[in-house]
Amino acid sequence: MRLRFVASECALDYFRATKDYLETHGKPVAFYSDKHGIFRINAKDAIGGDRVTQFGRVLSELNIDIICANSAQAKGRVERAFGTLQDRLVKELRLAGISTIEAANAWVPVFMADHNARFGRTPENAKDLYRKLTEADDLGEVLAWREERMVTKNLTLHYDRMVLMLDPTPLARGLVRKTVDVVNYPDGRFAIQFEGVSLPYRKFDKIQTVEPGEIVETKRLGAALATVKQHQDTYEPHRRRYHPARQRPPNNLEAPGQPTKGRPSRQIAAAMARERGVAAAEP
């Protein structure tokens, strides 16, 4: 059994808990779980993929089976222990004066040892079926979120609304139109790999946001805006954004005597105004 407090239930947190479990006990023959979306693909009309979740891929690489409960009785057996622990843990944490996730995770091993000593039962078959980890079981690389992406001719690839630009190394130049792995590690690391080799890259975030306070205080932005303003001042008057010649014509509410479709163009209206001005100036 492995307990871990997390902010939300996600695959990366399952990777962390599984890593601790495997390093402590070794590899089991199979995991027994419910039908949560982390363990199996529940959508019948799933588009793409090989109908294997990230967690399922990890277990397959480690040669561990996963058994999802198919009956109400089996699912009840899984959930019953969870209900007992969730009810008991609330009281135990209150008695221990723990109110943070970090402190709770540091205290959990003590609770697990006490719980197993009080409620554990001797199995009918005492044979240990756990398998020891080998050098080939690189948990740091296996227990990671991996997605495939295609490299464009510009040595770029798209991931999570970002453009990742590979450095133009000899290896990267040979990967045009080939597939690479984008890897997110549970410890926060991020990598692009091809057949296990990490590729240097740069990131261009297409949805970067800047706080309004940072815009006011950013000196480079002020200089850039001043340069743009100076360049715009050199435009011809009719090309300037706020010049009257670029304003939209008035609508029918603003000029009730001139219907929109029959209204003369600005050039004709200006010529007519000049003619009226000249006529008024003549004696």
First to last CA, the chain: 106
Q: Give the pTM.
A: 0.64
Q: Is 26 exposed, middle or buried (0-12, 13-18, 19+ CB in 10 A)?
A: middle
Q: How many angstroms from the chain centroid is the CA of residue 114?
A: 38
Helices (H), 134-180: 139-142, 170-173
Report which residue type is found at 272: M
Beta bridge partners of 162: 159, 205
Length of the chain: 283
pLDDT in tens, the chain (283 residues): 688 888 888 888 999 999 999 999 999 999 988 788 888 888 777 666 667 889 999 999 999 999 888 776 777 766 777 787 888 888 999 999 999 999 999 999 999 888 888 888 888 888 888 999 988 899 999 999 999 999 999 899 988 878 899 999 999 999 999 999 999 999 888 999 999 899 999 887 665 554 545 444 455 566 667 766 777 777 766 555 555 555 544 444 344 444 444 455 566 667 777 777 666 666 5
Q: Measured between alpha carbons, how far is 204 from 164 in angstroms, rounded to an integer?
A: 6
